[in-house]
Each structure stands twice: as C-alpha cells, then as structure tokens.
C-alpha cells in the first residue's frame, strides 16, 4: 500500500521542528514538498518521508532564504504493525541512539569522520517520530544490495564499523549506564512471540526448498529440525558475556543500513550508517558475523575475508588508542574465538536475512503481507528460490554442518 503523507506533516510542524533543532525562533517556513523516502520492503518498522523545506531566517539584521532536505521517520500508527513495533521498543532504541549515544560517539571522531546523520528532533507521542538530517544532499547514496559490496566498499564499511565499536567503548567507559540502555537487539526473550515466529517459519520454508536442491535432502532434514530452536539459538549466539570484549553493536549491519559517498570516478570514498533500531551491547562478533553473511559479494567473502577481518582489528585498535580507551582491544585469537562461539548467528542471518536482500524487486513483500502469511502459518520467502542465493547456500550449508551448527 502506498504511503500517505500524514496531514499533520505540514508547514506548522516543520517550522516548530526547525526552530527547535536550529535553536532559532526567527525561522519561518515558506513551503514544503513531501514524498516517501523508501521503497516497498526497504523498511518494515517505520514510515519514512523525505521533506524539502524552504524557509527564511534572520541573519545579521536581514532575512535570508534557505532550503533543507530532511527525513521524518514515523512509528506505525495503526494495526498489528503498531502493536508489534511498540512491543519491540525499536523506536525507543533509535531515539536514544540518535539524540544521546550517537551524538557523543560522533563528537569523538569529528570533523574527520561521521558515523551517522544528525538527529534533529524527537517526538515521543502521537505519533512517535524522529526528524533526521537527509544524507543524500551530502553526497551519500545506497549501494546495490543484490550485487553485494565489492572490496573497496567493504573496506570502507568495515572501517566504519570498527570506529562505531571503538567510540562506543570510549562512551561506555565515561558513562557505564550506556551499556544497560541497549540490551535487546534482534534476538531477545523480552521480544513478542511474533519476532520468533518469523524466524521459525522462514527456516521451515527454507528446508522445503532445500529438499529440491541436488544432493541436499540430508541437509534439508537437519534444517527442518532446527526451525523450532532457531530463535533460542539466536538469543544464545548474541547474548552478553562479561568475559568477552563488548561494544554497542549496530545490530542490523547490512548493505541497506549504510550509505556511501563517491568521487567523480565513481570510487567510494566515504561511508555512514543509518537505522539504529536494534543496537545491542554485546560482543562485536554479532555485527561482524551479520555483515559478513549478508553484505559482501560472494567473491569478496570467499577470497578477501581475512583482509576485512584485519582491517577491522587494526582500525578498532588505532581508534581506541586515539581515544585513550582504558579497555584493551581484543587480540586476533580472542576475536576469532568469540566469532566461533557465536557462529550460529552467521548461519541464522544466511538462512533468513540474506534471501530477503537478494529478492527480486517485484517479489518484495511489505509488513502486512508477511504478517498475513505468518498468521496462516504459511510464510514463504521467494528469495529462497533465487539462483544466486542457492549457489551461496550450496557452499555455506556443508560448512555449517561441518561446524555442527545443524545438529539439534
């Protein structure tokens, strides 16, 4: 269903927002142009509107006119989507990140690097919403999610992730209460049952599809048995441990939740994150496994994973040193061990998130379509039939079996 622009998103609302975010009561909004900011299937947990605002302000005794493009991110206001998103508390998490934690993290890296756009305004009721700086006018855009990221994109992304993690360590050292603010992530026993159902039904559908793949019947039977345990496996693989090196994870670190800036030759030269709804304080292995299993091109992940791992470690260590962190960064062996213990997280992302990423545009489903299928216990993921996905899984599934991840 096409997104309708809410009637309250008008000149008056934008004037109030800009006056607060710019701390300038002289701002007067002249005109606004609003349109949906995302495509179907790009964002399930909110509605996003891009608003171009024309306004005047007083400067040095005279009126000047300016234009600004901003994103208004609105929590669902009706139906089952409203109830589920409210129970997941993802909007609360993003508000905390945008107006508090990320602001502090960004200040540690400025002006050379930025981790996110600026949070401009928060409204906590009727409806919940966030007003965020639009990154497109700054030269950022999304990469192609179906092709996967090539090595130059991946190196920028992994360095950005390392800085994200390092600055979170610095902030948590100064304010230990930050650790408790991000305790849920994607997998949590506190989430409503619907969250688990999506993963269970997705795994059941994958098992049915795999039964039709050459020589994969033995694997499909194992995957089918995994279904009822998959969400608990996710909880276990992502849970906080005092013995680990821990950071605030982005939590949903895949190609659509980051944007890149390019030079005139089309080479990527900058990276920034978006969407902070499932940030979670735990081992960085969670973000690394999720990113590796969903975002690089098959060629990069097969041939250059060690390069990315080393880039992550060196950037993390250098940034933590630069920020005078008291915490020691993990050794290569410690980080490898944490990733090995949590390897089920990579498998779950490969089974459930990757097929959604690789899905053809004309087969993308919105939240209501997915929910309708789940209510009938009939969720299907067209991405499981995707030829690229099948090729990737035919290489990964035997490895997951060798690691013992398919044994319940």
The Cα 96–Cα 75 span in angstroms is 15
- Which of helix, strand or coil describes residue 132? strand
Identify which has the larger pLDDT, 232 or 45. 232
Q: What is the largest CA-CA distance in the chain?
A: 77
Which pLDDT tens digit goes with each residue over 4-53?
788 999 999 999 999 999 999 999 999 999 998 876 555 567 789 999 99
- Give every CB contact of residue 63 below 8 A, 6+ residues apart in sequence: 56, 57
Residue-wise pLDDT tens digits, 311-322 = 999 999 999 999
- Rounded to an integer, the average pLDDT of 356-375 is 65
pLDDT digits (tens, 9 = 90+) for 194-230: 888 889 999 999 999 999 998 899 999 999 999 999 9
Mean pLDDT check: name the lowest of 75-79, 167-171, 341-345. 75-79
Q: Cβ neighbours of residue 373 under 8 Å, at least 6 residues apart?
A: 201, 365, 379, 380
DSSP string, 302-337: HHSHHHHHHHHHHHHHHHHHHTT-SSPPPPHHHHHH
User: At 292, is the secondary structure helix, strand, or coil?
Assistant: helix
How does pLDDT run across 252-301, given as a tens digit for each residue?
A: 999 999 999 999 999 999 999 999 999 999 999 999 999 999 999 999 99
Share of the chain above pLDDT 70, in %: 93
Separation CA 179–CA 244 (nearest Å): 14
For residue 231, the SS3 value is: helix
Q: What is the pLDDT of residue 125?
A: 83
Task: Determine the pLDDT at residue 368.
Answer: 55
Confidence band of 1 (pLDDT split at 50, 70, 90): very low
pTM above 0.85, yes or no: yes
Give the distance from CA 224 to its chain's centroid. Answer: 27
pLDDT exceeds 50 at position 160: yes
* Cα distance between residue 325 and residue 336, in whole Å: 22
Beta bridge partners of 50: 35, 71
């Amino acid at each position: 269903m096409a997104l309708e622009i809410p009637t309250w998103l008008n000149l008056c609302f934008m004037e109030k927002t800009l006056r607060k975010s710019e701390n300038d009561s002289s701002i007067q909004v002249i005109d606004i142009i609003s349109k949906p900011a995302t495509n179907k299937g790009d964002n399930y947990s909110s509605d996003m509107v891009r608003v171009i605002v024309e306004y005047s302000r007083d400067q040095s005794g005279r009126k000047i006119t300016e234009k600004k493009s901003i994103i208004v991110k609105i929590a669902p206001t009706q139906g089952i989507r409203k109830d589920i998103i409210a129970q997941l508390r993802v909007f609360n998490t993003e508000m905390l990140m945008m107006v508090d934690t990320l602001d502090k993290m960004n200040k540690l890296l400025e002006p050379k690097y930025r981790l996110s756009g600026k949070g401009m305004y928060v409204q906590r009721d009727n409806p919940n919403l966030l007003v965020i700086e639009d990154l497109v006018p700054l030269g950022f855009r999304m990469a192609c999610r179906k092709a996967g990221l090539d090595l130059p994109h991946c190196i920028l992304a992994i360095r950005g992730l390392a800085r994200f993690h390092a600055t979170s360590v610095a902030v948590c050292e100064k304010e230990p209460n930050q650790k408790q603010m991000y305790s849920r992530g994607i997998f949590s026993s506190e989430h409503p049952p619907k969250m688990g159902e999506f993963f269970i039904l997705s795994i059941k559908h994958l098992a049915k599809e795999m039964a039709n793949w050459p020589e994969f019947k033995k694997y499909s039977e194992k995957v089918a048995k995994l279904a009822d345990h998959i969400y608990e496996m996710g909880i276990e693989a992502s849970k906080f441990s005092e013995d680990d090196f821990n950071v605030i994870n982005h939590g949903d670190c895949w190609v659509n939740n980051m944007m890149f800036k390019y030079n005139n030759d089309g080479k990527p030269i900058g990276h920034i994150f978006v969407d902070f709804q499932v940030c979670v304080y735990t081992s960085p292995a969670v973000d690394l496994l999720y990113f590796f299993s969903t975002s690089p091109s098959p060629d990069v992940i097969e041939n250059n994973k060690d390069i990315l791992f080393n880039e992550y470690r060196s950037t993390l260590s250098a940034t933590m040193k630069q920020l005078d962190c008291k915490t020691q960064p993990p050794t290569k062996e410690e980080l490898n061990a944490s990733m090995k213990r949590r390897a089920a997280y990579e498998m779950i992302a490969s089974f459930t998130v990757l097929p959604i990423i690789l899905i053809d545009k004309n087969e993308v489903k919105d939240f209501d379509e997915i929910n309708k299928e789940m209510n009938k216990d009939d969720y299907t993921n067209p991405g499981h039939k995707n030829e690229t996905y099948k090729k990737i899984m035919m290489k990964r599934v035997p490895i997951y079996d060798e690691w013992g991840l398919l044994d319940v």
